[in-house]
A and B are shown apart, each in its own frame.
Chain A
Amino acid sequence: MDVRIENLTKTFVGKKGVETTAVDKMTFTIPDGKLVGLLGPSGCGKSTTLYMIAGLHKPTGGRIWFGDEDVTNVPPENRGIGLVFQNYALYPHLSVRQNIEFPLDNVRFPGPYGEEENRLFDAQNDEKTSIKDLARTEKTIAKTEKQVDSLSKKLESAKSAGDEETAARVQEKIENGKKRIESLKEHIASVNEHLKFVAEEIKKAEVELEKAKAAYEELKVKDPVAAEEKARTKLSKEDKDAIALEMAKVVDIAQFLDRKPKELSGGQQQRVAIARALAKRPRVLLLDEPLSNLDARLRLQTREEIKRIQRETGITTVFVTHDQEEAMSISDFIVVMKLGVIQQIDEPQKVYEEPANLFVAKFLGSPAINVFDGELKAGKLLLNGEVIDIDKAYKGEDRPVKVAVRPESFEYVEKGANVPVVVTTVEQIGRDITVNGNIKGQENHIKAIIPSELRAKILGKAEVSFRAKRLYVFEETGERIK
């Protein structure tokens, strides 16, 4: 089942009545069975979006669809979602098993003829409210008629006094009152019509209920086991235990079922939280910063684990993160957000290789992309007056632009180098060396990562020229120029 977000908006009103828009007209679709990462710096509205999908936050505008069902106003417990909180929110006084079974404890079946009973109950309720509505409307009509009467007297007295202005005003009021009475009478007619329909409905429901009861009695005689199965309103202890064990096996914590959450490591707690979220077999799994509470090594491991669990269960999954590496490594799609607005939606590699704007380019990749000043002149890209991108022609008038180059895109070449860098430091980290410096004649800091074999060629030089294998050009305002 896919999840569709349409024009989703969330505005928070602060204490002094100041409105802050956390999420602004977001529209995107999460394809069925995919793992989607909401990525952005803190305060970009990604968690708010997640909580709106979960139903814990009420959207200010827009709609949320699970498949064909509009869930915008459905309470969280009826959405069929599993949510893993950032701090896991495992109930500390319950064992792992009890934690996983907690959602199952709240599952209710309608019983042997519960559906029919509910139908009757709803119809009866409908009848009651309609009758109340009728009484209330009749009262309003009586009140309005009285008002019209007194207004008519006023009109006559105004007419006899020759006060045309008042007469016209009162006349208008009378007209309005009459119109109101008309519409109220229409309403009464429609309610009466509805009541007839409801009476039919009640009769039908009663018959259905009798039928269902008789069928159940029959079933009791014919097949007592099936009848008992049908009469259940809750999951049995055995069923719950079986599901808990199954979920625990999926996340690989079956041996810890009888422990309390605090007796587990962070990674294990995380997995319990996922098992709890999966226990109700949700249509959508939501993860809020799932890895932020883990140490670096566990983070890598859990990353793989989440990917595996998602693949195995095939549940449409949304997760929130501010860590671009995390988002890149496990998502099928990334939604990059900034200040409540979507910047780009794409596959991880696409987002990295084809950033839609300067924000996305800067946000993804570690170390961060290098940005420096260039200019467009007669369709050519110039740096310090020299053309640096010979092959490509750019449209539009001459203007200053921002040029961005990923650190690993710098190439050390003997000939054809076009990005002159004043070197400040050279660090060797494993198989790579990092050259720190700035563009000649500019303040912009530059980091270039090149293979360590080139160390000898660079060491001792105050200035090195690189060739940018791949470069991105942006407007001063941040939009990409292609």
Chain B
Amino acid sequence: MVPNEMILKGNEVNTEKALKSKLISKRRHHTLPQWGTAWLVLFPALIFLTMFMLYPILNTFLSAFVQSYHYSDSAGSFAISQFIAGVLDGNETDMAFGLSNFKRAMGNGTFLRSIGNTAILVIIEVPLTITVSLLIATFLNSIKVLKGFYQSVFFLPYVTNTIALGLVFGIVFSNTEGGLANVLITKLGGKPINWLSWMADEHLGQAPATRFHQGIVIVLYALWNGLAFKILVFMAGLATIDSQYYNAAKIDGASNFTIWRRITLPLLSPQILYITITSFIGAFKMYTGVMAVYSNMNVTKPAYYFGGADGNDWVPVVGWIYSTLDGNRNNTGEASAASLILLGIIMVITAVQFAVSKKRVHY
């Protein structure tokens, strides 16, 4: 039997507690509604997003469409602040809008070449890396012995520094220091190739590196650099495919290739779509990879060097944008216009991919 007193006491305590919590909840309810809490929590992220994403995007749009953009020390390269300063000063005459920056960019031979370069790199590299990584992932998925070892090997480039990887490629494809590639070629009875150097080497009897040979090195570099992540995603995708499908297909008499083509590929299509879109965008934006390949050459060269005598043999679009800005901030307008053109191209291609994927991707 529980004494009555205790029940009473217990009740009292309970009511007090309940009252308190009621008060607290009431107060909280009045001072900060749910949306308020939401904004409070979002605030830090929003600050950084605005500062480093939203404002630069708006700024890029503005500086691309301002007719004659002039870099001023007071406003820095911030077109918006310059615009506001102009409005406050009452002289907005030089802030006329138009397409002159786009015209200038499209009239620039190097920019047009950079679009061509990027297009070539994208068209060769994206299908190549996706195919190779898909094959490697299926292969890795089907072996049991040494699976972990090979997985680590293929994942290593992902944790390796881009520049370090570039240095290694520079050494492998060096024409002077007995680079591995040339050693192999001479062993097989070929003539050593000048892969990367823009200078003719009379001692070795080599002409300056052709665009073709430089391109091979860049594509191989991009392939090696891009494999790891794609293999990882494909492996994860393969792991989610129910093994019963394979058993069923085996009983249905499908050959290994048929199973791969008709079961594995379609069931992996969400991952393939994801990788295709991200690697297209990544390839369009690539420029450090090209620079990294040349980073091992011991000649003085500009900060943004992309091969050849003029440093622009394989300049990609983003590379051109940076090298245009480098040392001359007055080119901001042109560079902004160029990045908007690149944005347009990427958006169109991504839209096409999504349209195609509606038919081809099975979720």
Contact = CB atoms under 8 A, between A and B. Distances in A.
B244 interface: yes
Contact of B252 (A56, A87, A102): A102
Contact of B251 (A56, A91, A93): A56
Nearest to A106: B253
Nearest to A102: B252
Interface in B95-118: none
Q: Pick the most buried of A77, A93, A276, A280: most chain B CB atoms within 10 A of its CB.
A: A93
A72 B251 CA distance: 15
Contact of B267 (A83, A93, A105, A106): A93
B253 A77 contact: yes
Contacts of B251: 54-56, 76-77, 81-83, 103
Given A106-B252, A106-B253, A85 B247 contact: yes
Given A93-B266, A93-B267, A83 B248 contact: yes
B362 A93 contact: yes
A413 interface: no
A93 B263 CA distance: 8
A89 interface: yes
Contacts of A78: 253
B258 interface: yes
A76 B255 CA distance: 12
Nearest to A98: B262
Q: Is the interface of B mostly helix, strand, loop or mixed?
A: helix
A107 interface: yes
Nearest to A288: B244
A76 B248 CA distance: 10
A103 B362 contact: no
A92 interface: yes
Nearest to B244: A89
A350 B246 CA distance: 39
Q: Pick the most buried of A55, A78, A94, A106: most chain B CB atoms within 10 A of its CB.
A: A106
Nearest to B361: A93
A276 B254 CA distance: 14
A107 B247 CA distance: 17
Given A92-B362, A93-B267, A106-B258, A77 B247 contact: no
B255 to A, nearest CB: 7
Interface residues of B, number: 19
A87 B250 CA distance: 16
Interface in A243-266: none
B242 interface: yes
A103 B253 CA distance: 6
Contacts of B254: 77, 102, 105-106
A245 B254 CA distance: 21
B252 A103 contact: yes
B253 A87 contact: no
Contacts of A106: 252-255, 258
Nearest to A76: B251
B139 interface: no
Interface in B242-282: 242, 244-245, 247-255, 258, 262-263, 266-267, 269
Contact of B244 (A87, A93, A107): A87
Contacts of A93: 266-267, 269, 362
A280 B253 CA distance: 10
A474 B71 CA distance: 101
A261 B244 CA distance: 15
A85 B253 contact: no
Given A93-B267, A106-B253, A87 B248 contact: no
A56 B362 contact: no
Contacts of B255: 106
A127 B90 CA distance: 98
Contact of A89 (B242, B253, B269, B362): B242
A85 B244 CA distance: 8
B250 A91 contact: no
Contact of A77 (B245, B250, B267): B250
B244 A77 contact: no
Contacts of A81: 251
Nearest to A82: B251
Given A91-B263, A93-B266, A93-B362, A85 B248 contact: yes
B68 to A, nearest CB: 56
Interface in A77-136: 77-78, 81-83, 85, 87, 89, 91-94, 102-103, 105-107
A94 B261 CA distance: 13
A85 B242 CA distance: 12
B242 A87 contact: yes
Contacts of B262: 91, 102
A78 B247 CA distance: 14
Contacts of A82: 251
A125 B253 CA distance: 24
B245 A91 contact: yes
A143 B341 CA distance: 75
A102 B266 contact: no
A77 B248 contact: no
Q: Pick the most buried of A81, A91, A105, A276: most chain B CB atoms within 10 A of its CB.
A: A91
A80 to B, nearest CB: 10
Nearest to B258: A106
Contacts of A94: 266
Interface string B229-253: 0000000000000101101111111
B250 A56 contact: yes
B240 to A, nearest CB: 12
A351 B244 CA distance: 33
A91 B244 CA distance: 10
A91 B249 CA distance: 9
Q: Pick the most buried of B250, B263, B266: most chain A CB atoms within 10 A of its CB.
A: B250
Q: Pick the most buried of B242, B247, B248: most chain A CB atoms within 10 A of its CB.
A: B248
Given A85-B244, A105-B254, 14 more contacts: A55-B251, A56-B247, A76-B250, A83-B248, A85-B248, A87-B242, A87-B244, A89-B247, A93-B266, A94-B266, A106-B252, A106-B253, A106-B254, A280-B253
25 contacts: A55-B251, A77-B253, A78-B253, A82-B251, A83-B248, A83-B251, A85-B247, A85-B248, A87-B242, A87-B244, A89-B242, A89-B245, A89-B247, A89-B248, A91-B245, A91-B248, A91-B266, A92-B267, A92-B362, A93-B362, A102-B254, A103-B252, A103-B253, A105-B254, A106-B253
Closest 8 CB pairs of A and B: A93-B362, A77-B253, A103-B252, A106-B253, A89-B244, A93-B266, A89-B248, A76-B251
Interface of A: 54-56, 76-78, 81-83, 85, 87, 89, 91-94, 102-103, 105-107, 276, 280
